[in-house]
């Protein structure tokens, strides 16, 4: 059996007034309607920080300053595997505009498990909600 492709993703954890920014995928995207942290696939030759800056600019029109890694998870889906690196990020401008998501909310940490997150994000979400990160 051949190994599945591993897709490396960098996700931004933006916090404001104790709340975390989460985004809901549009219905025509893969995993329609699921919630996730903003971010995306790391391109060849790109650092995690560069990926996060590029993805949040493309997805939310936000200029961000990437911070430290706060979590990393590998998850096997049926067709592929994903390695998600969660990094703190600080918005340097406040004019967010949704370019690829259906919705974005600033959610209380403790309420994060109430959202229907992508499977790969669930364990990280639980730890974040419990204050373990």
129 inside domain: no
CATH number, domain of 22, equals: 3.90.79.10
**33-76 pLDDT per residue, tens:** 999 999 999 999 999 999 999 999 999 999 999 999 999 999 99
Range of the domain at 64: 6-107
Look up the pTM and report it: 0.93
117 inside domain: no
Residue 1 has pLDDT above 60, yes or no: no
CB distance 51 to 43 below 8 Å: yes
76 inside domain: yes
Residue 63 main-chain phi, psi, to 5 deg:
-90, 125
Q: What angle do CA 75, 29, 60 make, to 5 degrees?
A: 90
Confidence of residue 27 (pLDDT cuts 50, 70, 90): confident
Confidence of residue 132 (pLDDT cuts 50, 70, 90): confident
């Amino acid at each position: 059996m051949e190994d599945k492709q591993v897709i490396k993703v960098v996700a931004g954890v933006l916090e404001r007034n104790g709340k975390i920014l989460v985004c809901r995928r549009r219905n025509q995207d893969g995993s329609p309607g699921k919630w996730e942290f903003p971010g995306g696939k790391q391109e060849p030759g790109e650092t995690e920080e560069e990926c996060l800056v590029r993805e949040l600019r493309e997805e939310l029109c936000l200029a961000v300053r990437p911070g430290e890694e706060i979590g990393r998870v590998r998850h096997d889906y049926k067709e592929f595997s994903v390695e998600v690196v969660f990094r703190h990020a600080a918005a340097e401008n406040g004019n967010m505009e949704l370019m690829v998501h259906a919705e974005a909310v600033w959610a209380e940490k403790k309420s994060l498990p109430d959202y229907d997150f992508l499977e790969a994000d669930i364990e990280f979400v639980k730890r974040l909600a419990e204050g373990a990160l």
